[in-house]
Structure 1
């Protein structure tokens, strides 16, 4: 499958705001912290047209409490990835509507069989994962040379065939890990 990478669209911020309102209403009792992350959150950066949202809850015990309200709100729960990352609950808003869950035994491939508009990464607020995701976003927002290099890499990778979105993401992994590490070093120096 080919991965679509397109020029920055200011409408992605509006999509984030609309989704934030839905998530806030669904998870109101858990008082979630919600942030726009990923390439669609960085003005001027080319991206897959999928809005990534980071949602933080107060404790790991709250993670499973999110599944019912989020699926009721129209998101599809992707439990298939929990084995690899047990401290995250992953949800998507699909273009075609919602399945209640895409589980470990599912043959559906996101990006090939079903296409998503939004990815929600639900974790515990304030954890190292939380801090890293926001630091990387903020570094991309403030560093034009990094944005240019990241765009070039994504455009190069998007020209290739991939078995799934995870394989495409693996192609970006070394670049992202290096940029995240530098973002965290800069954040630490500011403290």
Structure 2
């Protein structure tokens, strides 16, 4: 069910990896992207995480998505479509780059706003970082071979922290 789930202690290399990946895609999207953000657990200092950098590319307008898909393809990214989330485009990274998740959205997409809100909430609440890391370690023992169940089991924690951060989505 999606492969083995691995959660590691925070590694500062994740931030450096993001910066390298950002530098790789930014020139191709410089006139379209209003932001290239490191999101997900690897973007929160001190947080245990699956060792996969998540990147959100935000585009000025929904019409820019098609152009961005083409430019990312020129860099070697393989477009996977929206993977069930309308307005979000997912990409498989080119061979030779570290495995990462790259998504492109229009800047007003609610999932993008949710990602930033959760990341920024955790960054400003170190006690929550510790609690979330401990939860993830417990869950990985329980759901090591079931990625969907692992993700679902984190849902209540994430939803509650988003609510505390002001999310109304």
In angstroms, what is the RMSD of aligned CA positions? 2.2
Q: Deviations over 1:69-105 (max 9, x none)?
A: 1122132322260xx21110012326xx28xxxxxxx
- Match of residue 162 from structure 1: 145
Residue of structure 2 equivalent to 1:23: 25
Superposition pairs for residues 1-191 of structure 1, below 5 Å?
A: 1-79=3-81, 81=83, 84-93=84-93, 97=95, 117-159=99-141, 160-163=143-146, 165-184=147-166
Cα displacement (A) at 1:25: 1.4
Task: Specify the SS of the correspondent of 2:76.
Answer: coil
Deviation at 1:133, TM superposition (A): 1.3
> Which stretches in structure 1 are left out of the alignment for 5+ residues?
99-115, 186-191
Instruction: Give the ranges of 4+ consecutive aligned residues of structure 1 lying more than 6 Å apart after TM superposition.
Output: none
Task: Tell me the SS of whatever aligns to 1:2.
Answer: coil
Contact 1:132/1:184 (<8 A) preserved: no
The 2-side partners of 1:133 and 1:161 are apart by 24
| Distance apart, 1:161 and its partner CA | 3.5
Q: Distance in 2 between matches of 1:177 and 1:133?
A: 12
Stretches of structure 2 that go unaligned for 5 or more consecutive residues are none
Q: Does the 8 A contact of 2:6 with 2:144 survive in 1?
A: no
Give the C-alpha shift of residue 24 in structure 1.
0.8
The CA deviation at 1:167 is 3.9
TM-score by length of 1: 0.77
Aligned counterparts of 1:80 and 1:125: Cα–Cα separation in 2: 16
**In 2, Cα distance between equivalents of 1:122 and 1:162:** 28
SS, match of residue 43 in structure 1:
coil
Summarize deviations over 1:30-59 as a string: whole Å, max 9, x none.
Answer: 134111111111110011110111110011
| Corresponding residue pairs, total | 164
